[in-house]
Amino acid sequence: MVELWYGIASVMLAAYVVLDGFDLGAGALHLLVARTDRERRQVLAAIGPYWDGNEVWLLATGGVLFVAFPSVLASGLSGFYFAIILVLWMLILRGISIEFRSHVEDPLWRAAWDFIFAAASLALPVLFGAALGNLLRGVPLDHDGWFSLELFTDFTAQPPVGILDWYTVLSGVFALLAIAGHGGAFLAWKTDGPVQERSRRIAMLSYAAVAVLWPLATVLTRYVNAPMLEALPGRPLAWLSLALAVAGLIVVAVGLRQKRDGQAFLGSCAFLTGMLAATAACVFPVMLRSIDPGVHSLTAYNSSVPAASLETAFTWWIVGFPLAVIYFVVLFRLHRGKAVAAEGRHGY
């Protein structure tokens, strides 16, 4: 049951990254790929119907951690307190800019919201990537399983560590590039005209950088978390995930080159999913890694609630999860085809 819930949490997190990833990526590229008001509304029309539902996956992932691994959620969120609050503020600004921007037909009003939307969408992937970097590198847990971190110390990734060091900054940059490539592929698929052209080009550039950085970052992980890479040979699920990620990367490259953008976007989804799944499979069962070898990490086993509670939760999760998937399928079907910029004060 514990393994199952670890899997569920990983699946939900991957769904969040893949889904909100495309609207975050579109936001990060907003000012680059869309210059005129009409083009910007094309971008917003492409993500407008989805962004809120996509963000719910983040809440649902938090909910799954809450119900199954409350100690991990409690230590993680309080330990990264200020970074998490910063994420919340960015999420607020971003959501509001999508929803409020087109209500007023004034160039200055709209330009201001476009800027806020792009800035928040740029900051969030960096923050999320750095957060993942922190989890891989480890945090200074005490014997009760709590920790707190300075924003930065000496950037060496050796104790005493801070939230930002060379490794976590690298993870943040890597996440931004991957998310930008993902958002670019999505926009290439859902828009037409100049926005599509620019998005495709930026997606190619971003993914080229990802193809270089990914192996590099993986090798460098050796210096902050050697056990993770050592676990790889014994984890068949991780091989499969890596194969999926590599295949996804190839599909992205081919798809973008041949202007088969829908295919490229699917490849991008496969890359992100594979990469996250491989990571989750390699670090299992560790969820919150202790950087001090003398202190226990928080693992799926030592931080899960009793099996009976997990079973209860599974009975409703197995009903709710397919429902959520169905809503998304219906939503994508209803909005199939290219996104069209709305006019006046209506629409996104």
Binding site for another protein (CB under 8 A): 48-49, 52-53, 55-56, 58-60, 62-64, 66-68, 70-71, 73-79, 81-82, 84-85, 88-89, 91-93, 95-96, 99-100, 103-104, 144, 146-148, 305-306, 308-309, 312-313, 316-317, 320-321, 323-324, 327-328, 330-331, 334, 337, 340, 342-344, 346-348
Within the chain, residue ranges assigned H as helices are: 2-33, 37-47, 51-68, 70-79, 81-100, 107-137, 166-190, 193-220, 226-231, 236-257, 261-283, 300-303, 307-334
Nearer to another protein (CB atom), residue 135 or residue 173: 135
Residue with smaller CB distance to another protein, 103 or 259: 103
CB 50 to another protein: min, Å? 8
Planar angle of CA 123, 175, 64, nearest 5 degrees: 90
Distance CA 319, CA 323 (A): 7
Nearer to another protein, 70 or 262 (CB): 70
Residue 239 or residue 321: which is nearer to another protein going by CB? 321
Q: How far apart are CA 303 and CA 73, in angstroms?
A: 10
Q: Are strands 298-299 and 286-288 parallel, antiparallel or unpaired?
A: antiparallel
Work out how close the CB of 219 gets to another protein at its nearest, in angstroms, rounded to a whole number.
33
Reading the block at residue 242, the tokens are 């890596």
**CB nearer to another protein: pick between 104 and 226:** 104
Two tokens at 241?
Answer: 């995930």
Q: Least distance from C-beta 345 to another protein, angstroms?
A: 8
Provide the minimum distance between the beta carbon of 78 and another protein in the complex, in angstroms, as a whole number.
4
Q: At what angle do helices 236-257 and 261-283 cross, to 10 degrees?
A: 160
Q: How far is the CB of 173 from another protein (least distance, A)?
A: 25
Distance from C-alpha of 117 to C-alpha of 30, rounded to nearest angstrom? 8
| Minimum distance, C-beta of residue 53 to another protein, in the bound complex (Å) | 4
Residue 283 in contact with residue 136, Cβ under 8 Å?
A: yes
Nearer to another protein, 118 or 180 (CB): 118
Q: How far apart are CA 119 and CA 103, in angstroms?
A: 20
DSSP state of 304: S
Looking at the Cβ atoms of 139 and 270, the one nearer to another protein is 139
* Tokens matching residue 42: 């094309």
Instruction: Give 99 or 166: the residue with its C-beta nearer to another protein.
Output: 99
Nearer to another protein, 21 or 248 (CB): 21
User: How many angstroms separate the most distant Cα atoms in the chain?
Assistant: 62
- Minimum distance, C-beta of residue 213 to another protein, in the bound complex (Å): 29
Distance CA(212)–CA(339), nearest Å, equals 32
- Smallest distance, Å, CB 62 to another protein? 6
CB of 54 to another protein, least distance (A): 8
Burial class (CB in 10 A: 0-12, 13-18, 19+), 267: buried
Q: How far is CA 167 from CA 130, 175, 251, 326, in A?
A: 8, 12, 28, 38
